[in-house]
Amino acid sequence: MIEILLIVFAPFIGGIIYGFERVVRARMQNRQGPPLLQPFYDMFKLIDKQAFIVNPYHTILGIMHFITLWVVVAFIIMGQNLLYVIFLHLLSSIFLILAGFSVKSIYSHIGSNRELLAALAYEPILIMMAVGFFMVNGSFDIAVIREHGASIASLFLLFLAYLMVIPIKLKKSPFDATEAHQEIVGGVEIEFSGIFFEFLYMAKWLEYIFAYLLLMLFAGDNILLGIGLFIGVFLLVNLVDNATARIKMKHLIKIVLSLGLTLGICNLIGLAYV
Amino acid sequence: MFDLKKYRKKSPWILHYNAGSCNGCDIEILASLSPKYDLERFGVINTGNPKQSDIFLVTGPVTYRSRERLIELYTQMPEPKVVVAVGSCTCTGGVFRDMYNVEDGIDRYIPVDVYIAGCAVSPELIIDGVVKALDILEKKSKEMEKPLKLFKEAISENGVVNRRNVALKVGEVHEEN
Ligand code: SF4
């Protein structure tokens, strides 16, 4: 029962996390910040606004992106196979990338390109994470992973690698070149407007849920540790977001691939032989 | 009844366009988003994307080079929208008035809802103007709003309005001032 409730309200929980994050970021900069429910005000406003349709495929692909992402979150909450989850998540990114390529806007194309490159950089880390969980717990099932004890000690290097994936997924500096407001005006989301942009906006909230639920897998059955990890990483990501500037796409790929792959492979080799 | 109009006021997203200003007012706009004045506490985001914005902040007296873009950006904003003219030169031409390469103020080209005078305007005035614009935004209908010049009527088929190419280039139209 609680699982169904969680799944139904997942976007709204994500919205609250997003609103809270905006407040935290404002407080870090010594500002007051918007109200906690600001994302929902934005949502109602966007529903009320006029919407432009550039072409039908573009809008449909945007909505598909949101729906697949919701399914991904549902799968994690229900404790399905971790590999399915990761590949389905890739599919949802692909929908967004196709949507970006389906319009004529150059910024949209650049955004899609960057999204694709970013997927290239973080996908191997996610897959290695799944392999690591398999080696520790003997199963890809998230339900099984959640029953075992905390695996953060044996997967520590992969945990560090995953810390680099979170800013990419949540579009936080230094790794926010995929979205890059004011530089490429949001990239893939540029041509969406009104209620159709709302789907993309809510997909962003779901991304939060996705990233932090995967993070909590490192804590296994230890719920307190899971919550501790969530709070710690949440603050860390926002602190880094406030303190650093955006880096170029080229450097993003170099850093994430070289560092992340090395960390991941070391961890997997260690698990296999030690 | 659950009234969606109420929420227009709570999440105004801003598009800022410099139509040939001296940059004084642009700096003040950025200052009003900075920690000291913190425009974000009203839910304001500086989006930079016309298709997702509600408030059009324009600075500058509309140089001949910038008017096509001004109309283009204006027609790309979905209704309801409000236009705020920031700075004296945006309202009337200000120090640039009657120069050979500028129009005197943006209201020759697009309808303006709020004028903020001052050269340069102070951040407090900008915040006041934006808050005033929010009151107007709440009352607006979703009727299509049109620029005053450089504009072709949008074609509507089966209730769907096609806005493609409604903003014209300068050479495409016969103008008299
Ligand atoms: S009003 Fe004055 S300070 Fe502002 S842009 Fe115009 S000339 Fe510059």
N-terminal to C-terminal alpha carbon distance within chain B: 48
Task: State how far the Cα of A54 lies from the Cα of A193, in Å rounded to an integer.
Answer: 9
CATH number where B102 lies = 3.40.50.12280
B59 C-alpha to ligand 1 centroid (Å): 7
With CB atoms and an 8 Å threshold, state whether A33 touches B40. yes
B59 CA: nearest ligand 1 atom: 5
DSSP symbol at B154: P
With CB atoms and an 8 Å threshold, state whether B78 touches A194. yes
User: Which one, of A108, A110, A58, A65, lies nearest residue A89 by Cα?
Assistant: A65
Domain-embedded: residue B50? yes
Q: Is the Cβ atom of B89 under 6 angstroms away from ligand 1?
A: yes
B96 CA: nearest ligand 1 atom: 7
Cβ-based contacts under 8 A for chains A and B: 81
Domain count, chain B: 1
Q: Is the Cβ atom of B88 under 6 angstroms away from ligand 1?
A: yes
DSSP symbol at B169: P
The domain spans of chain A are: 2-272
Over range A216-225, report the average pLDDT. 82
Domain-embedded: residue B26? yes
Q: Is the Cβ atom of B87 under 6 angstroms away from ligand 1?
A: yes
Identify any residues that bridge with B162 across adjacent strands, giving them in sequence order: B155
Residues of B in contact with A186 (CB under 8 A): 47-49
- pLDDT given for residue B101 in this prediction: 84
With CB atoms and an 8 Å threshold, state whether B7 touches A48. yes
With CB atoms and an 8 Å threshold, state whether A45 touches B8. yes
Domain-embedded: residue B157? no
Q: Is the Cβ atom of B58 under 6 angstroms away from ligand 1?
A: no
Per-10-residue mean pLDDT of chain B, 177 residues long, equals: 75 87 87 83 83 88 84 85 89 85 83 88 88 86 74 74 73 61
With an 8 Å Cβ cutoff, is B159 touching chain A?
no
Q: Which long-range contacts (CB under 8 A, 24 or more apart) does A66-72 make?
A: A66/A199, A66/A200, A66/A202, A66/A203, A66/A206, A68/A92, A68/A95, A69/A203, A69/A206, A69/A207, A69/A210, A70/A7, A70/A10, A70/A11, A70/A206, A72/A206, A72/A210
Question: Above 80 in pLDDT, residue A149?
Answer: no
Residues of A in contact with B49 (CB under 8 A): 185-186, 189-190
With CB atoms and an 8 Å threshold, state whether A186 touches B47. yes
Name the helix (H) or strand (E) containing A73. helix A56-78
Q: For a ligand 1 pocket test, name from B119, B121, B125, B126 the mutation site with the most ligand atoms within 8 angstroms of its C-beta.
A: B119
Cβ proximity of A194 and A58 under 8 Å: no
Residues of B in contact with A26 (CB under 8 A): 38, 40-41
- pLDDT given for residue B1 in this prediction: 54
**Helices A82-101 and A56-78: crossing angle, nearest 10°?**
170
- pLDDT given for residue A68 in this prediction: 92
A219 C-alpha to ligand 1 centroid (Å): 57
- pLDDT given for residue B173 in this prediction: 67
Domain-embedded: residue B150? no
With CB atoms and an 8 Å threshold, state whether B52 touches A29. no
Task: State how far the Cα of A17 lies from the Cα of A203, in Å rounded to an integer.
Answer: 13
Q: Tell me, what's the ipTM? A: 0.80
N-terminal to C-terminal alpha carbon distance within chain A: 41
Domain-embedded: residue B28? yes
Share of chain A above pLDDT 90, in %: 3
With CB atoms and an 8 Å threshold, state whether A47 touches B4. yes
Domain-embedded: residue B166? no
Task: State how far the Cα of B1 lies from the Cα of B119, in Å rounded to an integer.
Answer: 44
Question: Above 60 in pLDDT, residue A99?
Answer: yes
With an 8 Å Cβ cutoff, is B52 touching chain A?
yes
Which residue type is seen at B69?
Answer: R
Residue-number span of the structural domain to which B66 is assigned: 4-144
pTM for this model (two decimals): 0.85
Cβ proximity of B105 and B70 under 8 Å: no
Q: Is the Cβ atom of B119 under 6 angstroms away from ligand 1?
A: yes
Return the C-alpha torsion angle A228, A232, A234, A240, nearest 10.
-170
Residue spans of alpha helices (H) in A138-260: 142-147, 156-170, 194-217, 223-243, 249-255
With an 8 Å Cβ cutoff, is B152 touching chain A?
no
- pLDDT given for residue A105 in this prediction: 83
Which has more pLDDT, B163 or A71? A71
Query: Which range (A11-20, A184-193, B119-128) has the least confidence?
Result: A184-193
Q: Is the Cβ atom of B20 under 6 angstroms away from ligand 1?
A: no
Question: Above 60 in pLDDT, residue A13?
Answer: yes
